[in-house]
Amino acid sequence: QVQLQESGPGLVKPSGTLSLTCAVSGGSINSSHWWTWVRQPPGKGLEWIGEIYHGGSTNYSPSHKSRITMSIDKSKNQFSLKLNSVTAADTAVYYCARASVGIYSSIRYWGQGTLVTVSS
């Protein structure tokens, strides 16, 4: 059974960089999937942030493209998200997830989510 677990600081200062890692177990990061980040501000809906393939290809949300970097660490079977120049609007629960590749892509596996608060 594939499991994903987010980790990283729960508090980030404004203008700083949000850094999260997602550890994958029960499956290989080298498999043909989109490794995905989705966030959810408190009390609001889901927002797709972006995705990365094991070969390094990425797709980012245009809304945040200038601030996002995603990467994969094959040796640790994990992938990461960096979001710089954060503001209070970036406060959210961040989920890592695994999406199928190709036609009819969907997210079958999700991490439990981690709350990141942007505050001084």
Partner 1 sequence: DIQMTQSPSSLSASVGDRVTITCRASQGINRNLNWYQQRQGKAPQLLIYAASSLQTGVPSRFSGSGSGTDFTLTISSLQPEDFATYYCQQTDSTPRTFGQGTRLEIK
Site for partner 1 in 65-94 (CB under 8 A): none
103 binds partner 1 (CB under 8 A): yes
Residue 49 or 72 with smaller CB distance to partner 1: 49
Rg (CA), the chain: 14
Residue 51 lies near partner 1 (rule: CB under 8 A): yes
Asked if 107 is part of the footprint of partner 1 (rule: CB under 8 A), the reply reads: yes
Residue 65, SS3 per DSSP? helix
Q: Is residue 115 near partner 1 by the rule CB under 8 A?
A: no
CB of 77 to partner 1, least distance (A): 20
| Tokens at 4, concatenated | 């994903």
Q: How far is CA 82 from CA 24, 50, 64, 65, in A?
A: 18, 11, 11, 11
Concatenating the DSSP letter of every residue in 22-62 gives: EEEESS-TTSSEEEEEEEE-TTS--EEEEEE-TTS-EEE-T
Candidate residues 9, 67, 69, 99; the one interacting with partner 1 per rule CB under 8 A: 99
Residues that bind partner 1 (CB under 8 A): 38, 45-48, 50-51, 59-63, 95, 99, 103-108, 110-113
